[in-house]
Amino acid sequence: MKTLLLFPPDWLPSEPYLSLPSLAAVLRPKGHEVIQKDVNVEMYDLMFGETFLRHARKRIASGLRHFQRAAASRPLNGEERALTARLSSCTEERALRLARDAERAKQILRGEEFYDIDRLEWATNVLHETMAFISLGYYPAQICFPPIETDLVYKPFMSSEILEAIDDEQVNVYRDVYNFLVAPVMEKERPAAVGISIVQQKQLIPTFTFCKMIKRDYPGTHITIGGNIVTRIRDVLKEKPALFELFDAAVLYEGENAYLRLLDALEKGEKDLGQLPNLIYRDETGIHVNKEVFAEDLAQLPPPDFDGLPLDKYFVPKLILPYLATRGCYWGRCTFCDHFQGYVEGYRTKQIDQVVKEIGSLKEKYGNRHFHFTDESYPPALFRKLSQKLIERKFDIAWTTHMRFEESLLDDEVWDDAAKSGCKYLHFGYESGNERVLKLMDKATRPDAISANLRLSAKYGIWNHIMGFFGFPGETQPEAEDSKRFVHDNRENIHSLGFMTFVLGKYSPVAMEPEKFGVSFYKNPEWDLALDYYFTVKDGLGIGKALEVFEEFERDHDPKWDLRTCVREYIFLYIDRFGNNRLPQLRIQPGQRSGAPQSSVGMV
């Protein structure tokens, strides 16, 4: 059976996402024909080119004519006059200049010039300008690069607005993305089934846009959606027949063997899908939620299969491949976290020999040496073993992953081995620098252990990035100040950081036991697909005060953390290229901080 697997916008186009290659690796050996299409990266490659910019220019010209006709019959208001001026500046000449610059920017990002920070920054600025131009063709939508900031005006956490958005020919750029990228492959391949992986909420609008247009053009195609977001909205999805009309089935939790069994059943022409695991499906009698659930045996899963993905189109000079050795989180107790929703079974891991063998096979097959281990939190024992095995086998790789601060990782040998094995960049969950707040979170981490981990990773040349937040229920103003003071006191050993305010996740332990944490929250009935809630707290910082603390930190933090690029894959590649974690060229200079324009001399 032929199936088309789609990864929709919007996501960072700097490395493949693991979901499609994981499915392909299971489906292909069982005889199914698989076409993988990363629509996200192909969309950005398309947009940063002359064909799409000419298309956007035509839309802009049409919008300008609309306002010119309106101005002939009535005075334009201030907003309309400002927009008309912006549209008027989008000439054919400007579109062609942007097309030339954007092609040059892609060359820089994909070549050796990437490692010249001035050229990298120029290229990034060109892509931002290009997206601003394209956005005017879909006004008032804001289509951004990096894409996480894209806003189509419609709320992706409301099913009613998603249904409106998919038919909106003015703002919904994904209708055109379908016509440029999805429709041709549907016409050429005529797949019997389409699977779409959704990993962040903003992908819901493009996903359901694609679903509706596929059903319009190829009504007999069976469409399945899956991914972490689908699992998180499972309780609502079954109650939304208007949404469910756009597709046929939803796979929950882990999808490899669940989707395989679904394809097998479809191929055999089976009508009753009620015994398949991890499935919600629609037939002529209604929407059905199957009882059987299934968790993967990691020892039986093959390594991911990236064949067919456009590996030369990612916006990096060196291919970075994702790899997953574990499922779930070995700690699994943090009270703010709801990542466990993606699985029906707890933490599992592959054996170290299997992990190293698969990394080696991927390296040999695809010729890359850069890996992103996408585990939720890399286990300390596996971290040690992996480093030692990579050294023993003399693997020449560079790798990055995500970690907890651990008291079991406080000796120099661990970090020396990690560095020698190719570890370049670590994302750490810092959360807070106050011990009482860390205990409320059930982090079981002491500030002195955090300091030691930071010092050792820095000592051995491994870049550390820490992530924290203000406003955990019960956190006081002085305790939030402790978090800021901690990073200031440890600034010599902290390379980059990112803070936010606390978000009350729908499935987090705090939301499950709000009284225990002194929390009250409100469920807006119209926000039916929301994954977090508005809340108030009995004690400590509320949402507003936490935001004030955050904004103060953003304004007053050490300027060493203001970087000329914040894309983690870019920093990872820089560390590997220059051989250390001291990269002064990445720091924003005083003139840049004050808004001085960047020179483009020598860039084109």
Q: What is the pLDDT of residue 202?
A: 94
Q: Which residue has the tokens 């020698």?
A: 420
Beta strand pairing call for 222-226 and 519-522: unpaired
Dihedral angle computed from the Cα positions of residues 142, 39, 11 and 340, in that order, rounded to the nearest 10 degrees? 130
| Fold (CATH) for 2-45+157-289 | Rossmann fold (3.40.50)
Helix (H) or strand (E) holding 206: helix 204-217
Residue 308: Cβ-neighbour burial (10 angstroms; 0-12, 13-18, 19+): middle
Low-confidence stretches of the chain (pLDDT < 70) are: 147, 591-604
- Beta-carbon contacts of 124 under 8 Å, excluding residues fewer than 6 positions away, are 105, 565
Q: How many helices (H) does the chain have, and how many strands (E)?
A: 24, 18
Q: What is the pLDDT of residue 593?
A: 55
Q: What is the pLDDT of residue 356?
A: 97
CA 466 to centroid of chain Cα atoms: 17
- The pTM of the full predicted model, rounded to 2 decimals, is 0.95
Q: Are 429 and 391 in contact (CB under 8 A)?
A: no
- The class level of CATH for 318-591 reads alpha beta
Beta-bridge partner residues of 379: none
What percent helix, strand, coil does the chain show, rounded to 5?
50, 15, 35
Q: Are 302 and 25 in contact (CB under 8 A)?
A: yes
Q: What is the pLDDT of residue 261?
A: 98
Q: What is the pLDDT of residue 344?
A: 80
Beta-bridge partner residues of 196: 6, 225
Among 282, 245, 242, smallest CA distance to 160 is for 242
d(CA 1, CA 427): 40
Domain ranges of the chain: 2-45+157-289, 48-149, 318-591
DSSP characters over 306-349: -TTS-TT-SSSSS-EEEE--EES-SS---TT--GGGG-SS--EE
